[in-house]
Structure 1
Amino acid sequence: MGGPAAISGGDAHGYAHLIDRSKPWWKNTRIIKLNLCIALLLITSTTNGYDGSMMNGLQSLPQWNDAFDHPGGGKASSVSSLVITAWPDSYVAAWPSQCNPAYPFSPYVSDGMGRRAAVILGAVIMCIATVLQTASHSVGMFIGARFLIGFGLTFAAAAAPVLITEIAYPTQRGPATSLYNTLWFLGSITAAWTTFGTFHIPTSWSWRIPSAIQALPSVLQVFLIWFIPESPRWLCSKGREEQAIRVLAYYHANGNRNDPLVEYEFEEIRAAIKFDREVASNVGWSSFVKTPGNRRRLRIMIAIAFFSQWSGNNLIAYYMNKIFDSIGITDPTTQLLINGCLNIYNFIIAIVAGLLCDKIGRRPLFIASTIGMFVFWVLQTACFALYSEKGNITAAHTFIAMIYDIAFTPLIVSYTVEILPFPLRAKGFTIFNFALSLSLIFNQYVNPIALQALGWKYYIVYVCWLAFEVCFIFRYLIETKNRTLEETAALFDGEDTAAHLAEHAAVNAGIADTRSDREKASSEDIIEEVKI
């Protein structure tokens, strides 16, 4: 089977000339069907976001506090540490030590049983756990249910964004995967307004109803996941190449196995998997520190994982009710209303940024986001100080408008997944999630204590840290827009991978007229970018 060059340089898609542009994608029934499948995977993040906002809302409900003996201080930290998320970029519920026992197993389930099987397993566990959470009659039962939710979510969240990335139509992969983390806000908005709506129910159903609704995305996945295709890359890695090409042909070319785009994708996938196994030996955990390319990946993944939690957002998200109290907004109804409005505001911003990731680029969005967060956090600090020191009510209310983020919500998942080569994708995403979990230890145990002890002065710590983030992103983040997953791998791994994939494409390609020049130019472009 032939196909064009497997490497592309510059800002042009290597597959751009292979895309059927005779009609827009929304008139292509197969792509619409594929996007509906992707939507079902996206709601894994919705479950995650619903939980984070639900817990934030429940802490403002007198009924929930009465049911669990008004958790405060150390007890509040213990309950919060078992919450699935602390911000839209976190996926993991954990022990109080943030060490989820599902971590070591999730990549092996995803790589061994398949991406789809991992999502199913996680969804089933979360359905069971949500029933227990809704029926909770003690703190111990509630915490146990929350741990089980996190255990299931670890499997589902480790596989869902990976599967989205590996099945999406080439020109839609970046925005589709970016929407994964963005859909956190859909769950967050639903939870915020649900808890706002049940606030006036005088019984325990004021918090049991929001808890029960949390199961809805998982229930949908359990019943509908069977219609989602398995990853062609996973199928190819298991020697099931015929199934892999059928999936590519059905969803990317209306069933035409001989479509040039299908040939291109299939040959590129097969070449990359073969190279990683036979040439680079890029398959085990130790591979992350063996090669310069993988060390670059590891450095960026860990950095953006910590940045996503250590930019002050966690302080806002999980202790928002305490911050509201600190700036004079003490009415529970007002707190819940502001929480709901802020989630809608952030949802809109995240969607716009995610959809623009291929037009603007990942690097400019990350740079704009970190600079913006630094500027707005400085303003937040000033507003908080004015209220604390001088009782300025206007400054206190202005503080609410200073919550800002562009890139970290939509891009940290999509960027992490796309920079990883196939054999390391599930393992690398697990490392990313584990780094997120480690970053939460500081947030969930130090933040409430430091905020109470230092007040607005604690915000200065985050001002300094955000300045460091700006420098790091500017120095180390590599632009990956307009590349396939295999091209991105070559961008990180340099000359050897680029040359190998170009050579493989040359052997298998059936388009001889312009192929050689394109391969040579593309390989040289990637090698030059890596040097830069």
Structure 2
Amino acid sequence: MYKIGNIYFIAAVAVIGGALFGFDISSMSAIISTQPYLCQFNQLGHNEKGLCLGPTNDVQGGITAAMPGGSWLGALCSGFVSDTFGRKRSIQIGSVIWIIGSVIVCASVNIPMLVVGRIINGFSVGICSAQVPVYISEIALPSKRGRLVGFQQWAITWGILIMFFICYGCSFMKGTAAFRVPWGLQAIPAALLFLGLVFLPESPRWLCKKDRWDEAKDVLTLVHGKGNPNSPWVHREMQEIREMVEFERANADVSYFELFKPNMINRTSIGVFTQIWSQLTGMNVMMYYITYVFTMAGLADGSENAVLLPSGIQFVINVVMTIPALLWMDRWGRRPTLLVGAFFMCLWLCVNAGLFAVYSRPARPGEFTSPAESMAITGAPAKAVIASTYLFVASFAPTWGPVSWTYPPELYPLRLRGKAVALCTSANWAFNFALAYFVPPAFANITWKTYVIFATFCAAMFIHVFFMFPETANKPLEEVEEIFDDTKPGAIKYIGTPAWKTRNTRNLTLKQEHNDTLSSEEKIGLEEHAHKETTGR
């Protein structure tokens, strides 16, 4: 069958799996404050104005959290699915599961049916979100890996934006069609993902792991060699993969338990915390419950649809501000990007906490439809809350958003990559689940202090990244192993090269990829330079 070898096309199709997560975020964010939704799943009766009050805070948190709960389970299972059936096939399996879940969600007539459908959707997102970065990482050139894996985050932002404005348009429909139409339309991208993957090659590293060496070489020739099987880059990459596969087979059995052995626990903790911290920034909470925040800031203006359009502006910012990371993330490196993002997100969260603490008042009885909308702020402070919220999104989008998906697949050896990234992604969804459930009661009970909690997390992640997260940008996946080698002089036992001594090797990698006529002396020089760049010595 005809296979497409353009790496940008491969990434563009694969990251539709990320867009599925974006569809869910914005479909809940845009719908939970509308009357058709509140009336269909009403538990609290009606207010003085005759408007439906919808589910209780705890139940709404549970409905929202059902998707990340299913994603946690899907991410854990994805390692076995991916190692057994292949990276590409596992994403296709996820797309079929998403279609099933979307049908159930669209047809939901009560809360239990809605929760079940969202759990199934979540299981799909768990598989895709874990294995799309693995697939792209294993097929991309080192100098393009960050940009291409970052497309996953960009696809998420596009999914959020597109579905939000679909929901905005549908909010003017009468009856349950206002939420059933957008929930039903979610199935279309999953069908496109399944069909598009048919024409894409499998991961060459997974093929080598299964002793399908000729197929792996064909993939590398197609994607990296521009059709030339004798390309020195293809030959060198095949040799590196072969050496790694043979070494791993001779030295270790593959299981989740190996991730917790002394020589692996450091990188396991780094990968897991990359995903945990990305949730504890509070970004996805902002996405799910942004209508609550803007309603408290006075944007509702007496209309259930009025708050949707200004809320959608942050989704536009999210899409636009992800672009710089796609263009320059490999040049910036992983460490500086994460550090800058943590600093600025902490700043804007502190600003919001201070504004609500000083200038807000408690919500009056019947003023808002949800108990989570517990404060009211007006005038210039309200405008400042909106502005700092937008700036928070602009700080997350080019930093922790794309890097949190790019970084974990770069940390692990081939034999463990599928399971390791599945474990990391499951941590993402576990905390996504907890926070989605936590935020409505948090706003209702501790009000502005909710922002203080997330600001504290951002400060903690800055310190953690500085001392423990090594630089992996532009290094071949097999070369990253050297960073964690604790037998080298100056290395720390079970840690390897100290994180703050690692460097970005962009210029070296570009020379290796684009200069196929290096002399033996030049190759030796490049190898020595690579060692210095990798270790910082």
What corresponds to 1:307 in structure 2?
Answer: 277
What corresponds to 1:522 in structure 2?
Answer: 530
Q: TM-score, normalised by structure 1?
A: 0.84
Q: Which amino acid aligns with 2:278?
A: S
Q: Which amino acid aligns with 2:399?
A: A
Shift of the 242–391 alpha-carbon distance from structure 1 to 2, 3 Å rule, reads closer
Give matches, 1:224-303, under 5 Å.
224-279=196-251, 281=252, 283-292=254-263, 294-303=264-273
1:61 matches 2:34: yes
8 Å CA contact retained: 2:204, 2:216: yes
1:327 matches 2:297: yes
8 Å CA contact retained: 1:421, 1:485: yes
Q: Which amino acid aligns with 2:338?
A: F
Q: Which runs of 5+ in 2 are unaligned?
A: 43-53, 362-375, 492-516
Secondary structure at 2:281's aligned position in 1? coil
Shift of 1:166: 1.3
What corresponds to 1:36 in structure 2?
Answer: 9
8 Å CA contact retained: 1:170, 1:484: yes
Secondary structure at 1:333's aligned position in 2? coil
Post-superposition Cα deviations, 1:390-435, rounded to whole Å, max 9, x if no partner, equal: 9542111221221321311111011111112211111111111221
Shift of 1:483: 1.0
Q: Provide the aligned length of Structure 1 versus Structure 2.
A: 476
Structure 1, 317-326 or 404-413: larger mean CA deviation: 317-326
Once residues 327 and 61 of structure 1 are traced to their aligned partners in structure 2, the CA distance between those partners, rounded to angstroms, is 18
What corresponds to 1:394 in structure 2?
Answer: 380
8 Å CA contact retained: 1:37, 1:227: no
Shift of 1:516: 3.9
What corresponds to 1:148 in structure 2?
Answer: 120
Shift of the 400–510 alpha-carbon distance from structure 1 to 2, 3 Å rule, reads closer
What corresponds to 2:508 in structure 1?
Answer: none
Once residues 221 and 440 of structure 1 are traced to their aligned partners in structure 2, the CA distance between those partners, rounded to angstroms, is 24
8 Å CA contact retained: 1:387, 1:393: no
Shift of 1:325: 3.1
Give matches, 1:36-435, under 5 Å.
36-69=9-42, 70-83=54-67, 92-94=68-70, 100=73, 102-279=74-251, 281=252, 283-292=254-263, 294-330=264-300, 331-389=303-361, 391-403=377-389, 404=392, 405=396, 406-435=398-427
Once residues 291 and 523 of structure 2 are traced to their aligned partners in structure 1, the CA distance between those partners, rounded to angstroms, is 61
Once residues 468 and 409 of structure 2 are traced to their aligned partners in structure 1, the CA distance between those partners, rounded to angstroms, is 17
Shift of 1:201: 0.6
Q: Which runs of 5+ in 1 are unaligned?
A: 1-29, 84-91, 499-508
Post-superposition Cα deviations, 1:238-262, rounded to whole Å, max 9, x if no partner, equal: 1111110111011211211110111
Shift of the 158–440 alpha-carbon distance from structure 1 to 2, 3 Å rule, reads closer
Shift of the 67–277 alpha-carbon distance from structure 1 to 2, 3 Å rule, reads same
Runs of 4+ that moved beyond 6 A:
none
Secondary structure at 2:425's aligned position in 1? helix
8 Å CA contact retained: 2:96, 2:194: yes
Give matches, 1:485-500, under 5 Å.
485-495=477-487
Shift of 1:282: 6.5
Identity %: 27
Post-superposition Cα deviations, 1:162-217, rounded to whole Å, max 9, x if no partner, equal: 11111124432210001112211100001111111111111211111111111121
8 Å CA contact retained: 1:133, 1:146: yes
Post-superposition Cα deviations, 1:1-59, rounded to whole Å, max 9, x if no partner, equal: xxxxxxxxxxxxxxxxxxxxxxxxxxxxx997332122110111111101111011110
Shift of the 341–166 alpha-carbon distance from structure 1 to 2, 3 Å rule, reads same
Q: Which amino acid aligns with 2:130?
A: A
Once residues 12 and 437 of structure 2 are traced to their aligned partners in structure 1, the CA distance between those partners, rounded to angstroms, is 35
Shift of the 493–181 alpha-carbon distance from structure 1 to 2, 3 Å rule, reads farther
What corresponds to 2:459 in structure 1?
Answer: 467
Shift of the 55–120 alpha-carbon distance from structure 1 to 2, 3 Å rule, reads same
Once residues 197 and 350 of structure 1 are traced to their aligned partners in structure 2, the CA distance between those partners, rounded to angstroms, is 25
Shift of the 374–72 alpha-carbon distance from structure 1 to 2, 3 Å rule, reads same
8 Å CA contact retained: 1:351, 1:410: no
8 Å CA contact retained: 1:169, 1:252: yes
Shift of the 124–67 alpha-carbon distance from structure 1 to 2, 3 Å rule, reads same
Secondary structure at 2:245's aligned position in 1? helix
Once residues 284 and 335 of structure 2 are traced to their aligned partners in structure 1, the CA distance between those partners, rounded to angstroms, is 23
Shift of the 161–381 alpha-carbon distance from structure 1 to 2, 3 Å rule, reads same
Secondary structure at 2:351's aligned position in 1? helix
What corresponds to 1:25 in structure 2?
Answer: none
Secondary structure at 1:200's aligned position in 2? coil
Shift of 1:310: 1.3
Once residues 524 and 359 of structure 1 are traced to their aligned partners in structure 2, the CA distance between those partners, rounded to angstroms, is 18
8 Å CA contact retained: 2:61, 2:439: no
Shift of the 321–396 alpha-carbon distance from structure 1 to 2, 3 Å rule, reads same
Shift of the 187–387 alpha-carbon distance from structure 1 to 2, 3 Å rule, reads same
Shift of the 511–384 alpha-carbon distance from structure 1 to 2, 3 Å rule, reads same
Q: Which amino acid aligns with 1:286?
A: F
Once residues 201 and 155 of structure 1 are traced to their aligned partners in structure 2, the CA distance between those partners, rounded to angstroms, is 34
Once residues 341 and 324 of structure 1 are traced to their aligned partners in structure 2, the CA distance between those partners, rounded to angstroms, is 12
What corresponds to 1:9 in structure 2?
Answer: none
Once residues 441 and 181 of structure 1 are traced to their aligned partners in structure 2, the CA distance between those partners, rounded to angstroms, is 19
What corresponds to 1:448 in structure 2?
Answer: 440
8 Å CA contact retained: 2:131, 2:418: yes
Once residues 141 and 386 of structure 2 are traced to their aligned partners in structure 1, the CA distance between those partners, rounded to angstroms, is 39
What corresponds to 2:470 in structure 1?
Answer: 478
8 Å CA contact retained: 1:53, 1:192: yes
What corresponds to 2:504 in structure 1?
Answer: none
Once residues 320 and 439 of structure 1 are traced to their aligned partners in structure 2, the CA distance between those partners, rounded to angstroms, is 18
Structure 1, 331-340 or 252-261: larger mean CA deviation: 331-340
What corresponds to 2:50 in structure 1?
Answer: none
Once residues 451 and 527 of structure 2 are traced to their aligned partners in structure 1, the CA distance between those partners, rounded to angstroms, is 51
Once residues 358 and 446 of structure 1 are traced to their aligned partners in structure 2, the CA distance between those partners, rounded to angstroms, is 35
Q: Which amino acid aligns with 2:17?
A: T
Once residues 518 and 400 of structure 2 are traced to their aligned partners in structure 1, the CA distance between those partners, rounded to angstroms, is 41
Shift of 1:510: 11
